[in-house]
């Protein structure tokens, strides 16, 4: 058993029950919300959730808006469950700060595996806790990034991506390798997901974004 607390948001009671049952069986504490407005109230009432799983199409407040509101105050990992599978919807989710995007129908066991992978990385990371290179300092335990001493705000996936680049400094990494290394499972989506995250990460890093080199036709390399 563990103490991880997960907020499950979906207007379909059957879907909430399906997700809840599998998560509870895996040892997680689960709180349910039937729409985005209720989810917002629950989230900000305690702000002690370790992960949020939300649908997109919901009454009162949809998944996009819920993600926006959460991201204004928290970098808690977010998994988006949706019947939408179009590429632009998926990219929109990542742009807003969603960490995983799973299209319905899905395997509940795969969902649990992805939840475990995210929590293992975001809460229980025990590898080298501080990475430093080129004026960039990443404190993995405190989840803080500073550039030349100034803190910058990164989403969970952007933080993981920068950490992965720094851990593999000087190594040319394919998009597929980055997906497997950062997303921690065999990702079945478009490898351009990496490009979307790299673009946002570079923008937030300012001039230091140039340390992430593009390897045309392959992927990227972090090099000081």
Q: E strands within the chain?
A: 5-9, 29-33, 51-55, 78-82, 100-103, 130-133, 136-139, 144-147, 150-152, 173-174, 212-215, 219-222
- Where among 98, 122, 146 does a domain terminate? 122
Please provide the size of the chain in residues: 224
One domain for residues 162 and 90: no
- Report how far residue 154's alpha carbon sits from residue 139's, in angstroms, rounded to the nearest whole number: 12
Q: What is the pLDDT of residue 185?
A: 55
Q: What pLDDT score does 156 carry? A: 86
Q: Give pLDDT tens digits for 75-101.
A: 889 999 877 666 666 677 777 788 888
So what's the pLDDT on residue 120?
Answer: 79
Given 100, 122, 144, the domain boundary residue is: 122
CA distance 113 to 138: 26
Q: 109: which 2 tokens?
A: 């066991």
pLDDT in tens, the chain (224 residues): 467 999 999 999 999 999 999 999 999 999 999 999 999 999 999 888 999 999 988 888 998 899 999 988 888 899 998 776 666 666 777 777 888 888 888 888 888 988 988 887 765 544 557 889 999 999 887 789 999 999 999 988 899 999 999 989 988 999 888 988 887 655 555 677 889 999 999 999 999 999 999 998 889 999 98
Contact of 55 with 8, CB cutoff 8 Å: no
In this prediction, residue 211 carries a pLDDT of 96
- Do 104 and 11 reside in the same domain of the chain? yes
16 and 90 both lie in a single domain = yes
What is the predicted pLDDT for the residue at 126? 46
Q: For position 193, what pLDDT does the model report? A: 84
- Please say whether the beta carbons of 82 and 57 come within 8 A: yes
Cβ atoms of 99 and 78 closer than 8 Å: yes
pLDDT of residue 145: 94
Give the other-Cβ count within 10 Å of 31's Cβ.
17
Rounded to whole angstroms, what are the CA distances from 128 to 140, 154, 167, 185, 221? 8, 19, 9, 21, 20
Q: Are residues 50 and 110 in the same domain?
A: yes
Q: Which of 26, 3, 39, 13 shows the shortest CA–CA distance to 110?
A: 26
**HSE value, Cβ hemisphere, 13 Å, CA-based, for 39:** 34
The DSSP code for 136 is E
- Asked if 68 contacts 74 with a C-beta cutoff of 8 angstroms, the reply is no
What pLDDT does 51 receive?
94
Question: Of 122, 151, 181, which closes a domain?
Answer: 122
Which residues of 10-103 form beta strands (DSSP E)?
29-33, 51-55, 78-82, 100-103
User: What is the pLDDT, as a whole number, of residue 207?
Assistant: 94
| Pair (196, 89) in one structural domain | no
Same domain? For 164 and 112 the reply is: no
pLDDT of amino acid 1: 47
């Amino acid at each position: 058993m563990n103490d991880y607390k997960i907020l499950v948001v979906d207007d379909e009671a059957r879907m909430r029950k399906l997700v809840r049952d599998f998560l509870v069986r895996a040892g997680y504490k689960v709180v349910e919300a039937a729409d985005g407005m209720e989810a917002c109230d629950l989230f900000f009432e305690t702000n002690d959730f370790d992960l949020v799983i939300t649908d997109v199409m919901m009454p009162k407040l949809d998944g996009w808006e819920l993600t926006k509101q959460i991201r204004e105050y928290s970098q808690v990992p977010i998994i988006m469950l949706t019947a939408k599978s179009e590429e632009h919807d998926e990219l929109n989710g990542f742009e807003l700060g969603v960490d995983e995007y799973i299209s319905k129908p899905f395997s509940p066991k795969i969902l649990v595996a992805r939840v475990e992978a995210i929590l293992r990385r975001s809460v229980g990371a025990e590898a080298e806790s501080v990475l430093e290179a080129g004026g960039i300092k990443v404190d993995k335990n405190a989840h803080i990034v500073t550039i030349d001493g100034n803190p910058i705000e990164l989403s969970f996936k952007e933080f993981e991506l920068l950490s992965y680049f720094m851990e593999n400094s000087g190594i040319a990494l394919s998009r597929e390798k980055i997906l497997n290394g950062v997303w921690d499972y065999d990702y079945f989506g478009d490898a351009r997901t990496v490009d979307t995250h790299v673009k946002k990460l570079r923008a937030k890093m300012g001039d230091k974004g140039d340390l992430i080199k593009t390897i045309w036709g392959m992927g990227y390399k972090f090099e000081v």
